[in-house]
Structure 1
Amino acid sequence: MSIKERVKSILPLGLMQTAKSVRNRLLERATVGDFLFDDKTKVGADIASKYNYEGNIIGFFADNAIGVVHKWHHYIPIYDRYFSNFRGKNVRFLEIGVSKGGSLQMWRKYFGPAAVIYGIDIDPACRIYDGVAGNVRIGSQDDAAFLKSVIDEMGGIDIVLDDGSHHMKHIPVSLEVLFGRLSDGGLYMIEDLHSAYWRSYGGGYRSRRNFFNYLRDLMDDMHHWYHGRAAVHPLVSTTCTGMHIHDSIVILEKGRVYRPTHSVIGG
């Protein structure tokens, strides 16, 4: 019997769980609460001044009065950077994670009345937001059959925003089910990836389960022309034309991947 097994056999389960929680907290060094911006009256001003950004999505976020929306400030200009081309169109947008409903309100204002907006959540209480700013369906983000049924109901998908469990075992499942269903030119955004460094979400610094390791493999897959090895994540890499990484956010672009060529002109 190993030392770890002996300790488990001696200590009560509750004490073991408490010790594990304390150990994880010490290793992670930071929590979401450590970064809270306290003055709600200055949220918009903070975003505008720090990121030199004045888009109207600031107001959709900072002035929200229906439900609750929780976003990190630096996300706001990033959203607009990647989503602005879809505004005012019949975009089909899926948000994983409904929570208190405020986010769907923000997206309805941002994309406009023609957008097809759906949110999914595992919490049945989120049904109260169905039909308010979009359609809400109850189910798990790691349930492939459920995800496919939602996309079928939507008539396809152009943008996925994963703001769900943030857990390492769930993020890849949703991605591999949904990415192939995106339209060409579509986007798959995953946010709150600071969770990849936290053991409580199945990650950890330099942990093999950290989702950024998945992205490193995906990067290698995208460059398979030059190393000749088999793809690790073919369900994504065969139609992934670009990857953009920001603090806690990754954006994957969907499209047709062509064999690269080059030319020498002149001389």
Structure 2
Amino acid sequence: MAFERKLYKLYNLIGSKLGLVEKPVDIATFGTTDERLAEMAVAASSGSDDMMRLFFAHEGRPVHKWMHYLPIYDRWFSRARGTPVKFLEIGVLDGGSLDFWRRYFGPEATIVGIDNNPACADRVTPPNIVRIGSQADPQFLEQLAKELGPFDFILDDGSHVGWHQSASFNALFAHVKVGGLYIIEDTHTSYFANHDGGYRRHSSAIELGKTLVDDLHGWYHRHETRPWAKSEIPAVHFYDSMIVVEKDRHPRPQMLRGGGVPPGWVNPIRPSGR
């Protein structure tokens, strides 16, 4: 796999110089002006959207989020506000995101961040916690989970490199509590060659999400899957640049019928018994 990734990187490097590879979308074109940000901050301060209000009221270390993420976060996280929730964010950067989550979840929360940059250790204020290591290192992630897990929510906002995202999911999903969530964000990078991505690139986070859809339907086919997925993943939700994976007990499905049984009725669908 490492050789394949190097070959793919070389192909894209040469191809881009020769004009044979599609140029990535310029993310800077999605930015907004300071004037527009100021208008949004004023509107948020007097609005009823608490997530938006907290974001625009945030001061201190920088935090970067896409606007359409905020209502998605609130939809899934609001039930845990004011509780002793355990929250892990992959990717610390400037530390502002952990500060923001502390304000959102409240003083009882355990807020943990990981990053491979040692400088990030000085960008986090207690009681928030930071550990330094690679999100692609299973041993580091296992040690982290044993020390501080299991987690209610895991949010991958790390390198955004496809195989890193897959490595983190494969190592950490087992350490998400029943009823919890695993979220991969900024999945638009799945289409960027400089993030080991590309349209339908097999190692991207988008393709990981698609395989999870197949895996949770493992009751109904005999193709290779993660054998635990059909019993632990009841739903996978796709949003623009975000994948939300639910973890819960998902026993073998049962078909029900109501009312009387017509004479000669035959069940048209019989579970395979696997």
State if a TM-score over 0.5 links the two structures. yes
Query: Is 1:30 matched up with 2:30?
Result: no
Taking a change above 3 Å as real, the CA distance of residues 129 and 228 of structure 1, as seen in their structure-2 partners, is: same
Q: Distance in 2 between matches of 1:237 and 1:266?
A: 30
Whether 2:108 is the aligned partner of 1:114: answer yes
Instruction: Note the alpha carbon deviations across 1:163-190, whole angstroms, 9 max, x for none.
Output: 0000011001000111011110010011
Contact 1:97 1:120 in 2 (8 A): yes
Which whole-Å CA distance do the structure 1 matches of 2:96 and 2:83 have between them?
21
Q: Distance in 2 between matches of 1:150 and 1:208?
A: 28
**What amino acid sits opposite 2:173 in the alignment?**
F
Distance 1:200 1:118, change over 3 A: same
| Closer/same/farther in 2, CA of residues 222 and 236 from structure 1, 3 Å limit | closer
CA distance in 2, matches of 1:128, 1:22: 40
CA distance in 1, matches of 2:177, 2:30: 36
For 2:64, give the aligned amino acid: H
Equivalent residue for 1:72, pick from 66, 72, 79: 66
Residue among 223, 236, 250 paired with 2:217: 223
Instruction: Give the structure-2-normalised TM-score.
Output: 0.82
Cα 1:104–1:24 change in 2 (3 A) is farther
Q: Which of residues 75, 82, 90 in structure 2 aligns to 1:96? A: 90
1:190-223 Cα offsets, whole Å, 9 max, x none, are: 1000000111100111323332222222111111
SS in 1 for 2:146: helix
| Contact 1:92 1:158 (8 Å CA) reproduced | yes
Residues 231 and 251, structure 2, Cα contact 8 Å, conserved in 1: no
Superposition misfits of 4+ residues, deviation over 4 angstroms:
16-26, 45-48, 235-238
Correspondences of 1:119-198 after superposition (within 5 Å): 119-132=113-126, 134-198=128-192
1:55 shift after superposition: 2.1
TM-score of the superposed pair, with normalisation by structure 1: 0.84
The equivalent position to 1:248 in structure 2, one of 241, 252, 256, is 241
Distance across 1 between alignment mates of 2:143 and 2:149: 10
| 2:85–2:109 contact (8 Å) kept in structure 1 | yes
- C-alpha change, 1:33 and 1:26, in structure 2 (3 Å) is farther
Residues 245 and 42 of structure 1: CA distance in aligned 2, closer, same or farther (over 3 Å): same
The size of the alignment, in residue pairs, is 248
| Deviates most, 183-192 or 207-216 | 207-216
Contact 1:89–1:111 (CA<8 Å) still a contact in 2?
yes
Name the amino acid aligned to 1:150: L
Q: 1:177 and 1:24 mapped to 2: Cα distance?
A: 38
- The CA distance in 2 between the partners of 1:26 and 1:43, in whole Å, is 38
Deviations for 1:144-176, whole angstroms, at most 9, x for unmatched residues?
121122222224211000000000110010001
Percent same amino acid among aligned pairs?
Answer: 39
* Residues 1:264 and 2:262 are matched in the alignment: no
214-223 vs 136-145, which moves further: 214-223
Deviation string 1:77-127 (CA, Å, 9 cap, x unpaired) is: 000001111111110000000001110111001000000000011111111
Structure 2 segments unaligned to the other structure (5+ residues): 1-10, 261-274
Change (3 A) 1:20 1:128: farther
C-alpha contact 1:57 1:80 (8 A) present in aligned 2? yes
Instruction: Name the Cα RMSD after superposition.
Output: 2.5
CA distance in 1, matches of 2:258, 2:94: 57
